[in-house]
Amino acid sequence: MALKTETMILNMGPQHPSTHGVLRLELEIEGELIVNVKPHLGYLHRCFEKHAEAMQYNQVVPYTDRMDYLAAMGNNFGYVLAIEKLLGIQVPERVEYIRVIMAELQRIASHCVAIGTNGADIGALTPFLYLFRDREYILSIFEETCGARMLYNYMWIGGLSHDIHPNFVRRTKEFTSYFKNTIVELDNLLSYNKIFVERTANIGILPADTAINYGATGPVLRGSGVKFDLRKDDTYSIYNRFDFDIPVGKGLQGTVGDSWDRYYVRVREMEQSLRIIEQAIDQIPEGDVQSAIPKKIKPPKGTVYTRVENPRGELGYFIISDGNTNPFRVKVRAPSFVNLEILGELCKGHLVADVIAILGSIDIVLGEVDR
């Protein structure tokens, strides 16, 4: 007679070292094998979208910082682009260049955290601290220019809150030349580490069609081998002036679309961001960064949707204006939220230890998932 067995429910989170914030995962496990995963959201819900309706257009910018708090520059960028499109403002060249450099620096800083925590979840704590050390460098560059280290409120509608600091160009150049070594070091220490590869290759395989069906974007989609990057495919700002590649997952260590591919795409993306910064930093034109900021923001009736390539994927802002000083509706398409939906699909049949490896490779920020 067969023994009667039953599955066990394991609550992972909201207080857990590696759920990257306050995500709660309800794991149905059989021994250590995952039968089902149910993410429970909402522990960090702050009503951003509703809140925005009570604010004037320019007052919404600081709130966008607090969504994806690891890539606040990118959030600002998307929002101000939407409103500028609504108002029909053309911002000065200098502003465009600074915005692109800031967004790319932010992408590197954000990927540092993503890669670092992915490694730390698997037990490699040292690369995590090396990456945080270098992220610190970027944050201090930001701090010098706009006074904040995490929530910048730097990009304003029609311009920037401050012009760049006199040291900015020099320090950014220092950083780009220095950070290349870190990437080499990271490859040696983590990317090709036998144990790390064993833990991530062939784990959580996401085929390209599933990724597209779920609406995944960013490194998660590119890890599956789909060459889709809004900076190239739906170019905004001045990205079409720069020469850079879009790294995609090739299944170098296992299958296309496994956790290792998603990880590796991020590493290579940091290199491409460095390339963009190196090209842009020498071309910053002179000018006033605040000349195009409108005195009163009262866009005409209408709707607008803009999307930008944030470190985590396609960040979209859908804004309805009813002709008042406040937006009628702000809807955010948050890449983390969309990407997180795949988790259940990816985890089935894997072990408990793989859940965190997969979650780390999806790279979510709960501030953005819940908004």
Partner 1 sequence: MYQYFYELTGSVIISTLITAVFPLVNVLLVALLGVYLERKVSAWMQDRVGPNRAGPFGLFQTVADFIKMLQKEDATALDIDKKLYNIAPVLVFAGSFAVYAVIPFSSKLIGSEIEVGLFYALAVSSFVVAGILMAGWSSNNKYSLLGAMRSAAQIVSYEIPTALVVLAMVMFLGTLSLSKISEMQTAYFWNWNILGGAEFGLVKFLLIPFMVVGFVIIFISTLAEVNRTPFDIPEAESELVAGYFTEYCGMKWAMFMLSEYGNMFAVSAIVSILFFGGYQSPFGYLGNTLGIEWLIPYEQAFWFILKGWFFIFVQMWLRWTLPRLRVDQLMTVCWKYLIPYAFVNLIIIGIITLL
Residues that bind partner 1 (CB under 8 A): 8, 10-11, 16-18, 32, 119-126, 129-130, 133, 189-190, 193, 195-196, 198-199, 351-356
Q: Return the SS3 of 313.
A: strand
Length of the chain (residues): 371
DSSP state of 163: P
Our CB check for partner 1 shows the closer of 129 and 184 to be: 129
Contact 322, 301 (CB under 8 A): yes
Nearer to partner 1, 254 or 313 (CB): 254
Please name every residue paired with 329 in a beta bridge, in sequence order, or none if there are none. Answer: 320
Asked if residues 330 and 53 have their Cβ atoms less than 8 Å apart, the reply is yes
Minimum CB distance to partner 1 smaller for 21 or for 327: 21
Q: How far is the CB of 39 from partner 1 (least distance, A)?
A: 17
The values of phi and psi at residue 322, to 5°, are -105, 20
Contact between 161 and 209 under an 8 Å Cβ cutoff? The reply is no
Task: Considering the complex, state which of residue 87 and residue 203 has its C-beta at the smaller distance from partner 1.
Answer: 203
Single-letter amino acid code for the residue at 38: K
Q: Which is nearer to partner 1, 13 or 335 (CB)?
A: 13
Nearest one of 331, 234, 299 to 88, comparing CA atoms: 299
Picking from 271, 330, 306, the residue whose alpha carbon sits closest to that of residue 51 is 330
Q: How far is the CB of 18 from partner 1 (least distance, A)?
A: 4
- Nearest to 212, CA basis, from 315, 356, 321, 314: 314
Q: How far apart are CA 371 and CA 68, in angstroms?
A: 8
Contact 362, 221 (CB under 8 A): no
> What's the rounded Cα separation, in Å, for the pair 360 and 65?
22
Nearer to partner 1, 82 or 190 (CB): 190
190 in helix, strand or coil?
helix
Q: How far is the CB of 140 from partner 1 (least distance, A)?
A: 16
CB of 93 to partner 1, least distance (A): 39
End-to-end CA distance of the chain: 52
Instruction: Specify the residue, 76 or 117, whose C-beta has the smaller distance to partner 1.
Output: 117
- CA–CA dist 300, 297 (Å, integer): 10
Q: Nearer Cβ to partner 1, position 118 or 161? A: 118
Rounded to the nearest whole angstrom, what is the least distance from the CB of residue 181 to partner 1 in the complex?
A: 13
CB of 360 to partner 1, least distance (A): 9
Shortest Cβ distance from residue 194 to partner 1 (Å)? 9
- Rounded to whole angstroms, how far apart are CA atoms 250 and 223? 8
313-321 and 329-333 as β-strands: parallel, antiparallel, unpaired? antiparallel
Closer residue to partner 1, CB minimum distance, 200 or 217 = 200
Question: Least distance (Å) from partner 1 to the CB of residue 219?
Answer: 20
| 24 three-state secondary structure | strand
Smallest distance, Å, CB 29 to partner 1? 9
